[in-house]
Structure 1
Amino acid sequence: MAETIEQLADGFWRIAGEMKIGGVVDFGTHASLVRLANGNFVFLDSYTLPPDLHREVMGLTKGATIEAILNLHPFHTLHCEWMHAAFPGAALYGTARHLERFPELPWQETLCEDAALAERYGADFAFSTPEGVPLVCSDESVHFSSVLALHRASGTLHVDDTLVYLDKGPPLSLLPMNRRLGFHPTLEKALYPEAGAADQFREWAIALGIDWAETRRIAAAHNAVLELDSGEFPDLIGAALGRVKPVLDAHRRTYG
């Protein structure tokens, strides 16, 4: 898969990158470059830009300040060091796990999961973190949760793993989530092992669909973009919840 930059909307560019499993199958990864209302730019997530894409980014920003890098998924850490080295003037934000993994980097005190981030960037973004699940599971093979970011001006939702949308050819086209919006398949393992967690997650998802009803497109982690009709987002979230109902019901039976 080629590494590219694609403009999805006015002020929003998506960087499609490579992430090969076992060095063979490319699941893809992504980051986004967003122009703020003040004219500055931020990155959502990090990616090591090859020289041609780095030049393209610098051309897009036209000398404007890249003021911040917001690392929104606690397990997307491979490119943080490169990103800081390439854009040392950008304020570096991460989750608690980013700070633990790379304590030598000059992280901001505000974490991406903190309400203070929404206060800092609330004019440009809405942020949401799933409820009923931890941001970082004790089983580090479970990469369900992340901080979702909705760019208000363009209606573009940048999401890593929590919501999955793939648009792949063989063999990945055989996966059930291909060309269908759904929750990451690790939800069952991610839910807190306690009563009420399933309901907390369901209520969070319903509220997300309602609050972000005018989402116009979803830029998902593994290099797919889903364009939406007006008001379609709540229905897609409802359908995704319907497909995980057996998981939520089983959790309720186990934990009450």
Structure 2
Amino acid sequence: MHDRLHDLGNGFWNIRGSFVRDEMIDIGNQSALVRLDSGKFILLDSYTLTGEVREQVLTLTNNGKDIEAVLNVHPFHTVHCARVAKDFPHATFYGSARHHKQVPEVNWSKDYVESEAVAQRYPELEFSLPKGIYYISSNDSVHSGSLLVYHPASQSLYVDDTFELAPSKLFNDVKADINLHATTLKALKDEADAGQRYCDWALNLAQKWRDVRYFCGAHSGLVVFETGEFAEKLTATIHKARSTLEAG
């Protein structure tokens, strides 16, 4: 899979990359470049930039000098953190507690990426942490928890793993359904109302971010939704899954 930079408008670029699992299958990877109102930039997630995409990003960001921070929003996406920290040593690196533990060589900010302090620092973005499931599961194979990021100006939703698209996703099918990550049930907290809280969170998110047009999924590719389609599809998915999730 060739790396590509997609300009989604109004200061948001989705970077599509590669991640080869089990040395066999490229399930894809992503990052995003966001221009702030100040004229500076941030990166969402760490992904090693190479070739033409690297040159494009450096051109946009004054040879990288204008990238002020990197927000690592998925606790289990840590492979590229150390390399990106070397590429942009002047940038502030935000991550979860797991990032701090897994990649101690990075000079992490004391503010966790999911903190209110970070949200207030970047009003150009909206953040949402799923309720009812563990953000950082004790099971390293459970990856459904992540910090979701919405960029209203471009109507772009950036999501790692929590929501996915159907198998047709790789063909940029506008009608692709939204699926929950396969480990969502395993990620539920050991609380009686965990499933209900997760479903209520997702339904509220569907309405709050109903204007989503561009769905940027870590392993789902970039898909364009029609107006209101994101809300409709996520709502339908939650209604279908609610009984199973609430049963735990």
Structure 1 and Structure 2 fold alike (TM over 0.5): yes
- Segments of structure 1 that go 5 or more residues without pairing to the other structure are 252-256
One of 207, 227, 230 as aligned partner of 2:227: 230
Where structure 2 has 5 or more consecutive residues not aligned to the other structure, the ranges are none
Equivalent residue letter for 2:126: A
- Pairwise CA distance, 1:79: 0.3
SS in 2 for 1:189: helix
Greater CA drift, 208-217 or 56-65: 56-65
Report the Cα distance in structure 2 between the residues aligned to 1:231 and 1:223, rounded to whole angstroms. Answer: 20
Percent identity between the two aligned chains: 37
TM-aligned CA deviation for residue 223 of structure 1: 4.8
Offset at residue 55 of structure 1 (A): 1.6
Would you say the 8 A contact 1:150–1:157 is kept in 2?
Answer: yes
In 2 relative to 1, CA 223–5 (structure 1 residues): closer, same or farther, beyond 3 Å?
Answer: farther
Aligned with 2:244 (options 243, 247, 252): 247
Determine which of 168, 171, 177 is the counterpart of 2:170. 168
Aligned letter for 1:236? K
Q: Distance in 1 between matches of 2:87 and 2:220?
A: 23
1:118-160 CA deviation, whole Å, 9 max, x = no partner? 1111x20000000001101111100001000001211101000
Q: Distance in 2 between matches of 1:29 and 1:96?
A: 22
- Equivalent residues of 2:199, 2:242 under 8 A apart: no
- 1:195 aligns with one of 179, 192, 195: 192
1:230-255 CA-to-partner distances (Å, cap 9, x unmatched) read 2232212111203322421422xxxx
- Residues 1:207 and 1:145: Cα distance change in structure 2 (over 3 Å): same
TM-score by length of 2: 0.92
The one-letter code sitting in structure 1 at the alignment partner of 2:48 is T
> Residues 51 and 229 from structure 1, CA distance in 2 versus in 1: closer, same or farther, beyond 3 angstroms?
closer
* 2:152 corresponding residue in structure 1: 152
Paired residues, number:
243
Equivalent residue letter for 1:18: S
Q: CA deviation at 1:83?
A: 0.6
**Given residue 222 of structure 2, which amino acid in structure 1 is its aligned partner?**
V
What does 1:65-214 align with in structure 2 at a 5 Å threshold?
A: 65-121=66-122, 123-165=123-165, 167-168=169-170, 179-214=176-211
Q: Would you say the 8 A contact 2:158–2:216 is kept in 1?
A: yes
User: Secondary structure of the residue that 2:137 maps to in structure 1?
Assistant: coil
What's the secondary structure of 2:170's corresponding residue? coil
Q: Which amino acid aligns with 2:206?
A: G
Q: Provide the secondary structure at the position in 2 that maps to 1:168.
A: helix
Report the CA distance between 1:81 and its aligned residue.
0.5
Measured on the aligned residues, the alpha-carbon RMSD in Å equals 1.8
Secondary structure in 2 matching 1:244: helix
Deviations 1:49-90 (A, max 9, x none): 114322221112245611110000000000000111001111
In the other structure, the counterpart of 2:37 is: 37
Within 1, Cα distance between the matches of 2:159 and 2:104? Answer: 25
Matched to 1:213, the amino acid is: R
Query: Deviations 1:7-50 (Å, cap 9, x if unpaired)?
Result: 12231111111111111111001000111111111000011111
> 1:7, 1:13 within 8 Å by CA — same for their partners in 2?
yes
Q: Which amino acid aligns with 1:141?
A: S
Q: Which letter does structure 2 place at the counterpart of 1:179?
A: A
Residues 133, 152 of structure 1: alpha-carbon distance in 2 compared, 3 angstrom cutoff: same
